[in-house]
Chain A
Amino acid sequence: MSATTWTMAKALNQGLAKALADDDRVLLMGEDVGALGGVFRVTEGLSARFGTGRVLDTPLAESGIVGAAIGLAMRGYRPICEIQFDGFIYPAFDQITSQLAKITARHEGSARFPVVIRVPYGGHIGAVEHHQESPEAYFAHTAGLRVISPSTPNDAYWMIQQAVASDDPVMFFEPKSRYWPKGEVELESPAAGMHTTRVARGGTDATVLGHGAMVSVLLQAAEVAAKEGTSLEVLDLRSLSPIDYGPILRSVEKTGRLVVAQEAPGFASLGSEIAATVAERAFYALQAPVLRVSGFDAPFPPAKLESVYLPDADRVLDAVDRALDY
């Protein structure tokens, strides 16, 4: 199998290029995605290669981006929208949740809406307000959307192509703090579908679960724990809706302990949903309550406080210790 080493930004760029090359109904649209290549340069060179008729620098209006994408999908196109930053998605919230999410059901099978919405999200980049948020739970809560988030360059490369190939709307959350670290990318075929939970590191004493940038924090925690003699199994959720519970339940059957970590505030979060479901489905396997490690239930703070706000390996290990002490 041929493989290469790319950053996630490069892997996404190459995945998008492949999607654009494979199907001329695929369009890329958003603010600054053309000549600039996007504020994170994820779409760099795509406008030059595919033309301004395929890679659209749009007016500065997020609801317009998603609303127009819905119309383009009605016409048979497969638009990929870029929302520039997590905190700028709310002007498009109505078009995403009231229209895109419900419009397939409204058509009762007579139309499909293959729209992908790419959203760079999460903290760790020292940015100003509205640029470091984790709004994924809003969309996971909304039926009609598929919600996924890669944590590695390899997953980014394949999952963006799988998202474009899906006939359903897909919210594609890109952990922007992971755009630049490099990783190996398999070029021949994907290891898994876009809706599977991945075992990122095997272990036996406790399971830690997260998605996006949190996965690297969990792997870091597992390294530290290993030195202390504790074996952590690390799961990369990858799919936030639907959630692939098989690997999670299998892991919990083995370890008896689960810690769910997320950058988002914990109240009514993905971690809450997973904790409830695991309690329902694996009650007798659990040796301790499922514990959540989250951002605080407060607006994302000014950047100088982000390292206090965001869960780090120590906060994850603190929860692991509490789970092991039960």
Chain B
Amino acid sequence: MPTPDLAPRRSRDPHDDTKDRMGTVPETADDAVSVQMIAPDGRFEPNAAAEEFLPYLERLDDDLLRRFYRDMVVARRFDTEAGHLQRQGQLALWPPSLGQEAAQVGSAHAARPQDTIFPAYREHAVAMIRGVDVVDIIRMMRGLTHGGWVPAEHGNFHLYTLVIGSQTLHATGYAMGVGFDGAATGDPARDEAVMVYFGDGATSQGDTNEAFIWAASYQTPQVFFLQNNHWAISVPVTRQSRTPLVARAAGFGLRATRIDGNDVLASYAVTAKQLDDARAGRGPGFIEAMTYRLGAHTTSDDPTRYRGADELAEWEARDPIARYRHHLESRGIVDPAYLAEVDREAADFVADVRRRTLALGPADVGLIFDNVYAEDHPVTREQKQWLQGYEAGFGEAR
């Protein structure tokens, strides 16, 4: 396990800085060692922190390595297309995943089929990999549903949760249930684990901190996957925390690792180990994936109002897809024909998404009433009947 380097870049006493109290924020939250397999230029150069995770890369054959690339490219094309659809008035909102593809694709492939995943609302790549039809995410963002899919039939991938951090407690309760259902058998192909995604903003929420406490207390088979994308809408992560977020985890009693979140192999290997440790009964784990939200928070946001072009350029230079493509090319795992084929597949994929989005019909009025309660309820039943009569009345008048 890497030891976080807590030394600040600049020597300072945060309690003796009037400017901090007035609203500026320190720059210390990035200072910790991250597991890295692929250097930003694409060379395979595992750092010291990566050593214990290297055996997990042996699970990857060339097909899977190519699959990671394909998923990252398709996820990005889909995300871009969804943004266009929003701009064209087809969606109410879109929260882009641009820049976070490596964190999501690596961790999603590390999960086993029997695992259960709780997303926040930006995990489009994870959803895709777990078998969710992305048009169901589109339906949600178009205002046709608050949910969109049946988790048990789509890779145990739960519904998006929009209130920040709420899903961390659901995941922890679910993982408690996994624990109550029986101790680990020792068979990783059978034992279950739970993974919950959340962001750096969520680490300030009470629910998230309560989830850490409960997970540690009940030793749940669970991994907390934090995508530190550095911005909670307009507020930098340094406002959320003056210590590296990964350093907090130890205080809760969670096995914690920080990774280069733009390195898909680091994301895969560390998540695979953390999940297998969790499923084997070694208690809850925590991963902080250092990544960056290259796009806006959502299509309603304007990041030029609060962050500089320099910072954006710095992270664009660490683009997860370009880095991984260079890596695969240098190992001879992909050739130009394969890359062109993936681009074609991505183009076909989003053309299909666009076609099906434009074909979506209206929402059924019954949706207002039908599943408010699982059992019969006189109020929703009577109000639905009333509405039907009211609307039928207009029909007769015509």
- Fill in one digit per residue for A136-164: 1 if any B CB lies within 8 Å of its CB, else 0: 00000001101000000000000000000
Q: Is A202 an interface residue (CB 8 A)?
A: no
Is the CB–CB distance between B372 and A105 below 8 Å? yes
- Given A94-B163, A99-B170, A107-B147, answer yes or no on A77-B213 (Cβ-Cβ < 8 Å): no
Contact of B374 among A53, A70, A112 (CB under 8 A): A112
Q: Is B325 an interface residue (CB 8 A)?
A: no
Q: Is B172 an interface residue (CB 8 A)?
A: yes
Contact of A69 among B173, B371, B374 (CB under 8 A): B173
User: Given the complex of chains A and B, what is the CA–CA distance between A272 and B370 in angstroms?
Assistant: 27
Is the CB–CB distance between A71 and B177 below 8 Å? yes
Determine how close the nearest CB of chain A comes to the CB of B228; give it in whole angstroms.
22
Which residues of A (52-69) have their CB < 8 Å from a CB of B? 53, 58-59, 61, 63-64, 66-69
Contact of A108 among B166, B169, B367 (CB under 8 A): B367
- Given A61-B213, A242-B379, answer yes or no on A99-B163 (Cβ-Cβ < 8 Å): yes
Determine how close the nearest CB of chain A comes to the CB of B221; give it in whole angstroms.
12
Q: Is A95 an interface residue (CB 8 A)?
A: yes
- Given A77-B177, A143-B372, answer yes or no on A98-B163 (Cβ-Cβ < 8 Å): yes
User: Given the complex of chains A and B, what is the CA–CA distance between A53 and B181 in angstroms?
Assistant: 10
- Given A108-B145, A168-B375, answer yes or no on A71-B171 (Cβ-Cβ < 8 Å): yes
Q: Identify which of B74-82, B203-211, B279-287 touches chain A.
A: B203-211
Q: Is B353 an interface residue (CB 8 A)?
A: no
Is the CB–CB distance between B174 and A75 below 8 Å? yes
User: Given the complex of chains A and B, what is the CA–CA distance between A143 and B379 in angstroms?
Assistant: 9
Complex interface: chain A residues within 8 A of B145 (CB): 108
User: Given the complex of chains A and B, what is the CA–CA distance between A311 and B196 in angstroms?
Assistant: 48
| A interface, size bucket | 35 or more
Complex interface: chain A residues within 8 A of B177 (CB): 71-72, 74-77
Q: How many residue pairs, one in A and one in B, have C-beta atoms under 8 Å apart?
A: 131
- Given A64-B169, A106-B146, A108-B371, answer yes or no on A72-B176 (Cβ-Cβ < 8 Å): yes
Q: Is A91 an interface residue (CB 8 A)?
A: yes
Contact of A95 among B176, B207, B370 (CB under 8 A): B207
Is the CB–CB distance between B173 and A75 below 8 Å? yes
- Fill in one digit per residue for B378-396: 1 if any A CB lies within 8 Å of its CB, else 0: 1110000000000000000
- Given A67-B169, A108-B367, A110-B151, answer yes or no on A168-B206 (Cβ-Cβ < 8 Å): no
User: Given the complex of chains A and B, what is the CA–CA distance between A248 and B206 in angstroms?
Assistant: 43
Is the CB–CB distance between B379 and A95 below 8 Å? no
Q: Is A318 an interface residue (CB 8 A)?
A: no
Which residues of B (202-224) have their CB < 8 Å from a CB of A? 206-207, 210-211, 213-214, 217
Is the CB–CB distance between B178 and A63 below 8 Å? no
Is the CB–CB distance between A168 and B169 below 8 Å? no
Determine how close the nearest CB of chain B comes to the CB of A244; give it in whole angstroms.
8
- Fill in one digit per residue for A90-110: 1 if any B CB lies within 8 Å of its CB, else 0: 010011001100101111111
Is the CB–CB distance between B159 and A107 below 8 Å? yes
Q: Is B152 an interface residue (CB 8 A)?
A: yes
- Given A59-B214, A94-B163, answer yes or no on A67-B173 (Cβ-Cβ < 8 Å): yes
Which residues of A (147-199) have their CB < 8 Å from a CB of B? 166-168
Which residues of A (112-130) have their CB < 8 Å from a CB of B? 112-114
User: Given the complex of chains A and B, what is the CA–CA distance between A107 and B163 in angstroms?
Assistant: 16
Q: Is B264 an interface residue (CB 8 A)?
A: no
- Fill in one digit per residue for A37-59: 1 if any B CB lies within 8 Å of its CB, else 0: 00000000000000001000011
Q: Using a CB–CB distance below 8 Å, which chain B residues touch chain A?
A: 145-147, 150-152, 158-159, 161, 163, 166, 168-178, 180-181, 206-207, 210-211, 213-214, 217, 367, 370-375, 377-380
Sample of 5 further A-B pairs with CB below 8 A, known A66-B169, A68-B176, A75-B173: A74-B158, A98-B166, A107-B159, A110-B151, A242-B378
Q: Using a CB–CB distance below 8 Å, which chain A residues touch chain B?
A: 27, 53, 58-59, 61, 63-64, 66-77, 91, 94-95, 98-99, 102, 104-114, 143-144, 146, 166-168, 242
Closest 10 CB pairs of A and B: A71-B173, A67-B169, A75-B177, A68-B173, A64-B210, A71-B174, A71-B170, A167-B374, A110-B150, A61-B210
